[in-house]
Amino acid sequence: MKRINTEVLKIDRNNPDKEKIKMAADVIKNGGTVAFPTETVYGLGANALDEKAVEKIFIAKGRPQDNPLIVHIGDVNQIYPLVESVPEKALKLMERFWPGPLTLLFNKSDKIPSKITGGLETVAIRMPNHKIAVELIKEANLPVAAPSANTSGKPSPTNASHVIEDLMGKIDMIIDGGNTGVGVESTVLDISTDMPTILRPGGITKEDLLEIFPEVKIDPALEKSSKDLKPKSPGQKYRHYSPNAQMIVIQGELQEISQSIKELLKEYEEKGLKVGIMATEQTKNIYESKNVIVVGDRDRPETIAANLFKVLREFDKKGVDLILAEGVEESGIGMAIMNRMRKAAGGNVKTIEN
What are the residues binding ligand AMP (CB under 6 A)? 67-70, 105, 117, 120, 122-124, 147-148, 185, 188, 199-200, 232-236
- Smallest gap from Cβ 282 to Mg ion, in A, equals 29
* 38, 78, 122, 148: which one binds Mg ion (CB under 5 A): 148
Strands (E), the chain: 7-10, 34-36, 43-47, 70-72, 102-107, 122-126, 144-145, 173-176, 187-190, 197-200, 217-218, 246-251, 275-279, 292-294, 322-326, 349-351
Nearer to ligand AMP, 131 or 200 (CB): 200
The answer to whether the annotation marks 72 as part of a ligand binding site is: yes
Nearer to ligand AMP, 179 or 259 (CB): 179
One-character DSSP codes across 276-310: EEEE-TTTTTSS--S-EEE--BTTBHHHHHHHHHH
Closest residue by Cα to residue 11 from 2, 3, 20 = 20
The answer to whether the annotation marks 148 as part of a ligand binding site is: yes
- Smallest gap from Cβ 120 to Mg ion, in A, equals 17
- Smallest gap from Cβ 67 to ligand AMP, in A, equals 6
Residue 293 pairs with which residues in a beta bridge?
278
The answer to whether the annotation marks 146 as part of a ligand binding site is: yes
180 binds Mg ion (CB under 5 A): no
Nearer to ligand AMP, 184 or 245 (CB): 184
Nearer to ligand AMP, 200 or 206 (CB): 200
- Smallest gap from Cβ 67 to Mg ion, in A, equals 8
- Smallest gap from Cβ 89 to Mg ion, in A, equals 26
What is d(CA 294, CA 300) in angstroms, rounded to the nearest whole number?
A: 13
Residue nearest to Mg ion (CB): 148
The answer to whether the annotation marks 300 as part of a ligand binding site is: no
The answer to whether the annotation marks 156 as part of a ligand binding site is: yes
Burial class (CB in 10 A: 0-12, 13-18, 19+), 89: middle
- Residue 310 · residue 158 · CB < 8 Å: yes
One-character DSSP codes across 251-276: ES-HHHHHHHHHHHHHHHHHTT--EE
Residue 236 interacts, among Mg ion, ligand AMP, none and using kind-specific CB cut-offs from 5 to 8 Å, with ligand AMP
The footprint of Mg ion (CB under 5 A) covers 148
Known binding residues: 40, 63, 67, 72, 122, 126, 146, 148, 156, 186, 200, 241
Which residues participate in the annotated binding site for L-threonine? 40, 72, 122, 126, 146, 186
